[in-house]
Structure 1
Amino acid sequence: MKGIMIQGTSSDVGKSLIATALCRVFSNEGLKTAPFKSQNMSNNSYVTKDGNEIGRAQGIQAEAARAEASVWMNPILLKPQSDHHAEVILLGKAVDSLSGKSYRESFYEKGLSTIEQALQLLEAHYEMLVIEGAGSPVEINLKDKELVNMKVAEMADVPVILVADIDRGGVFASIIGTLELFTEEERGRVAGIVINKFRGDISLFENGVKWIEEKTGIPVLGVLPYLDNHMIDGEDSLSIQPFIQRTGDGILDIAVLRPPYISNFSDIDPFYYEEDVSIRWVNSLSEIGTPDAVIIPGTKSTIRDLRYFKEKGLANWLERYAEEGGHIAGICGGYQMLGRNLIDLAGSDTGSPFEKEKGLNLIPADTFFHEKKKTVRVQGRLHPNTKLSNIDNLDGYEIHLGETILENEYSGRHLLLLENGEGDGFYGNEGRLIGTYMHHIFHNDEWRGAWLNALRKQKGYPCKPAVYIKALKDNKYDELAESLMKHLDWEKLKEIIFNWRKQNEMA
């Protein structure tokens, strides 16, 4: 199988975005294309059609490639639960929770065999493989048992493109330093260099390109511009979009609490495309201000992050804010925090069975954490008992260990009625307090528009029609692909890919 691997001089250089663009370009050229990342560490995940869990970046790349996402595209997913432990997702299912040391000691051989199996299966079904690396490929303390960079390039026998981020500075040192730390064999696999996130007049970097090529003997295949509003979901918390402040009359101020172990932060992305909404990520009480609404996103460790909010004074503030009629929306872990009690029966949330924590006591419900995780795509509509617009065809996905049980007398106060007849979440205070397990609920344009209009009415602002961003996403894949081809030596890259094995066989 033909393929290319995108590695970076560090994390967040734009590997995922470039891999996404390549998936769409190859698909546009008629090649049956699949993304691949052997091992991903991210709490931003994606639920496949068959209810398995993979890294969100590979799910998005599969969409760009017009392929159905599968566990073979990301066979190993590590989801951090604390500073020392991560949940291990193998072929879409949670199998263990391990420390970094235990993972390296006990999982390496199993990981290698799983990766080899995945590569073989993808080769049997696809013509082109776009492989993404992770972090830096030259972490010396980890290289002997790495499962995601040069080892994978060797297993797949594909050339490597090294990406460097010029926006953060030090681009020359990062390129030269990375290449110097490669072995001679690894360095020989690097067939091209890409400079990413350039701002300004690219012609001003011509001398820089010349210097890199003369110093390394490796062609610079392109200098890619910094892209705003690309609408492609980020992979980890480094990719969270910054605070966007809009000022003037009629602006809604939404504060999003940022827990240490935040997960599925792409739930918030649609608000960045609402012209009258400011989004603020809040870590402390001093930053909270007087928002028009607060969103509590998902987390990989609900109890730990609830304790964090208590320590920071945000929990007490939320309770007062709710009493004063503030609008609060909790998603997944954020929904669980709104209840009365959290009981970790299996130790799956904290690592300690039967650990308990008092919730914010805003919703009459208790959450019990079990051993088995629920991962499923879901569809539904607003529950008939809500006083919000009667919106049908809401869709999203669930990824959670906890089960939240409402008191019997409140059993009809669900926010959603799912397609399978079950109720989900909670609707209270005439819509000012809501919670749900449905990730991406705010990606449903009609619902997001109705929720924002409730805020506008309370502020005395005129209502606005829904902003339909959902339909724009596929167009964004094409725009991303066009931008890549405009600034990349596309014919040279294809020559590298299609001649790689032929040249190595001759050598």
Structure 2
Amino acid sequence: MNRGGLLVAGTTSDAGKSVVTAGICRWLVRQGVKVAPFKGQNMSLNSFVTREGAEIGRAQAMQAQAARVEPTALMNPVLLKPGSDRSSQVVLMGKPVGEMSARGYHGSRQEALLDTVVGCLEELRGSHDAVICEGAGSPAEINLRRTDIVNMGVARAARLPVLVVGDIDRGGVFASFFGTTALLAPEDQELLAGYVVNKFRGDVTLLEPGLDMLKSLTGRATYGVLPYQHGLGIDEEDGLRVSLRGAVRESVVAPPAGEDVLRVAVCAVPLMSNFTDVDALAAEPGVVVRFVDRAEELVDADLVVVPGTRGTVKALEWLRERGLAEALVRRAAEGRPVLGICGGFQVLGERIEDEVESRAGVVDGLGLLPVRVRFAAEKTLARPVGEALGAYVEGYEIHHGVADVLGGEAFLDGCRVGSVWGTHWHGSLESDDFRRAFLREVAAAAGRRFVPAPDTSFAALREEQLDRLGDLIERHADTDALWRLIEGGAPAGLPFVPPGAPS
């Protein structure tokens, strides 16, 4: 017999589905409920490797941490990793199965994929008290409804009640709630139980007349009004939507432990992946992290990070077009620190041979590290552990490129030459002792009187953030009504809302 479940949908992308899903998971597990997260299909360049070697979205790994369970491929059976505006790598049950155009993906295999998605969901529901599912985009993407395996398609197949989250900070939230409801078919509307308002600022009593009118128009309640909160540093889903000019993951600097701050510039390369690697740097007191796309923005940086990317050759071309490649070469010659991670590591090498990702053949790298890279058809997915700079390190690997290291000083699976480091390991900077040792090396090379804080624990900071999400639900949502929804399904007798009903 299936146990409790709920699907958290949104009026738009970035409405707050991931935050609400993680918050509900943390609230439930603190009540003693055995809960798991789930997202049938995820489109993201930020991914994670589970202990069994499966690749899933980082958002689901974060939600699993919120639920205090080990992430598995069951929690994200389909992952799409964009390689261009029109094509993505399809990762099924944690393993890549090919590259497909958007038209080809939506035009084939959807029935089989829906069976896989629902089967994974039912397996999770059989072993947990509740499964909190996250939708994607909007459930009212009527052009995609026939092939939907993540929103109302999975909700209807598994008879899940649905909450729709709306970001009131963007404006138009009532129209978005009503329009989303009205565009759904009657069978889908039967499962849409109500709404959650996200990012509200001000006096909630001023909002209540609108919530009452929304209920009179749709027959559906609002299950919570969540206030706007700064600094909820959860993992982003989609690297393609990073705003280079916005304050994207620009760290708020706590007072440094030493005399100086340390300034980190991250090259915002195309198809940037796993940019969450620099979160641990931003968590350090006295470290400022910013994303850049111009050569002049590297001038005052103490450390430049070239991050992972789904398009290594494309990133290399982009760096050259913008003068960033030349600036990186100058930095290396001057002994100023540079760190390349995964695709960024490959860019720093001597040569790239790629007949898999870009099919560009042999391409010269920046030549800052004695490394030659050959792209293999099989993707490396691993959870390595090791030691570097005298400290224990954990990481994870997601790459097609196989690096042949020809010299330099050993550094994780890569190498170091002077003040230039390269590795395929994502997540290594989350290892506290290693991060501190690395920052001491960077500060020395940069001539900064920067001292890493001795007691910063990235894992503890992440737990604090997840607890804040749980508090958000516990304090500002109708948790009794939420639990009735999770346990009993959508209320019976919800009315059908035809388009244009308010007039």
Partner of 1:476: 465
The structure 2 residue matched to 1:156, chosen from 155, 158, 161, is 158
Identity, in percent, stands at: 39
Give the Cα separation in 1 of the matches to 2:61 and 2:453.
30
The superposition leaves residues 149-182 of structure 1 with CA deviations (integer Å, 9 ceiling, x where unpaired) of: 1001111101100000112222222222212211
Q: Per-residue CA shift, 1:14-60, capped at 9, x if unaligned?
A: 10111111112222222221111111101111111111111111112
- Relative to the length of structure 1, the TM-score reads 0.90
SS at match of 2:384: strand
What amino acid is aligned across from residue 69 of structure 2 in structure 1? A
Q: Are 1:450 and 2:411 matched, yes or no?
A: no
Aligned partner of residue 113 in structure 1, secondary structure:
helix
Write the distance in 2 (CA, Å) between the matches of 1:342 and 1:142: 38
Q: Which residue of the other structure, out of 239, 262, 266, is the alignment partner of 1:256? A: 266
Q: CA deviation at 1:374?
A: 0.8
The one-letter code of the counterpart of 1:5 is L
Show CA shifts across 1:336-387 (max 9, x none).
Answer: 000011101xx3211x2x62221111011110000001111111001xxxxx
Distance 1:470 1:152, change over 3 A: same
Pair 325,398 (structure 1): closer, same or farther in 2 beyond 3 Å: same
- In the other structure, the counterpart of 1:207 is 209
Q: Which moved more, 1:214-223 or 1:233-242?
A: 233-242
Offset at residue 246 of structure 1 (A): 5.2
Specify the alignment match of 2:385 in structure 1: 379
1:220: Cα distance to partner? 1.0
Q: How does 1:419-458 map to 2 (within 5 A)?
A: 424-429=413-418, 432-457=419-444, 458=446
Tell me the equivalent position of 1:419. none
Q: What SS does structure 2 have at the residue aligned with 1:451? A: helix
Map of 1:6 onto structure 2: 8
1:463 pairs with 2:471: no
Deviation, structure 1 residue 437: 0.9
State how far apart, in whole Å, the 1-side matches of 2:448 and 2:326 are: 28
- Report what 2:396 is aligned to: 397
Q: Is the 8 A contact 1:12 1:239 kept in 2?
A: no
Instruction: Give the corresponding residue for 1:348.
Output: 356
Cα offsets for 1:69-104 (capped at 9, x unmatched): 111111110001122211110111011101111111
Q: Structure 1 residue 45 and structure 2 residue 47: aligned?
A: yes
Alignment pair present for 1:305 and 2:309: no
- Inter-CA distance 140–503: structure 2 relative to 1 (3 Å threshold): closer
Contact 2:12 2:137 in 1 (8 A): yes
The counterpart of 1:91, out of the listed 90, 93, 103, is: 93
- Which residue does the alignment assign to 2:286? 276
- Please say which of residues 170-179 and 356-365 is displaced more in the overlay: 170-179
1:451 deviation in Å? 2.3
Question: What is the aligned partner in structure 2 of residue 358 from structure 1?
Answer: 364
- Count of residue correspondences: 482
**TM-score normalized by the length of structure 2:** 0.91
Aligned to 2:410: 414
In structure 2, distance between residues paired with 1:478 and 1:282:
31
Equivalent residue for 1:385?
A: none
What do the CA deviations read for 1:251-305 (whole angstroms, capped 9, x no partner)? 2221100112011111011222223122111123354442111001101111111
Aligned counterparts of 2:52 and 2:486: Cα–Cα separation in 1 = 32
CA distance in 1, matches of 2:403, 2:295: 27
2:325 aligned counterpart, secondary structure: helix
Change over 3 Å in CA distance of 1:2–1:253 after alignment to 2: same
How many angstroms does 1:247 deviate by?
11
Contact 1:58 1:74 in 2 (8 A): yes
Letter in 1 for 2:276: S
Separation (CA, whole Å) in 2 of partners of 1:269 and 1:203: 37
Given that 2:265 and 2:297 are in contact with CA atoms closer than 8 Å, whether structure 1 keeps it comes out as: no
> Match for 1:147 among 149, 155, 176?
149
- Structure 2 contact 485–491 (Cα < 8 Å) conserved: no
Q: Which runs of 5+ in 1 are unaligned?
A: 383-387, 417-423
2:227 pairs with one of 217, 225, 228: 225
Q: Which 5+ residue runs of structure 2 have no aligned equivalent?
A: 494-503
Contact kept? 2:4, 2:488, Cα under 8 Å: no
SS of residue paired to 1:106 = coil
Q: How far apart, CA to CA, are the structure 2 residues paired with 1:140 and 1:125?
A: 33
Aligned to 1:25: 27
Contact 2:23 2:66 in 1 (8 A): yes
SS at match of 2:37: strand
- Conservation of the 8 A alpha-carbon contact between 2:44 and 2:80: yes
| Alpha-carbon separation, structure 2, partners of 1:460 and 1:72 | 46
User: What is the deviation of 1:447?
Assistant: 1.8
Q: Distance in 2 between matches of 1:483 and 1:297?
A: 32
Distance 1:406 1:55, change over 3 A: same
Name the residue aligned to 2:347: 337
Instruction: With a CA cutoff of 8 Å and minimum separation of 6, indicate the structure with the bigger relative contact order.
Output: 2
Q: Distance in 2 between matches of 1:338 and 1:425?
A: 11
Q: 1:177 to 1:271 in 2, by over 3 A?
A: same
Distance 1:198 1:459, change over 3 A: farther
Pairing 1:322–2:332 present: yes
Deviations 1:123-172 (A, max 9, x none): 32222110100011112222221111100111110110000011222222
Residue of structure 1 in register with 2:188 after alignment: 186
Residue pairs, 1:60-71, within 5 angstroms: 60-71=62-73
Residue type of the partner of 1:202? Answer: V
| Compared CA separation, residues 239 and 172, structure 1 to 2 (3 A) | farther
Distance 1:247-1:28 versus aligned 2 partners, 3 A rule: closer
8 Å Cα contact 1:259/1:305 also seen in 2: yes
For 1:287 and 1:137, how far apart are their aligned partners in 2? 40
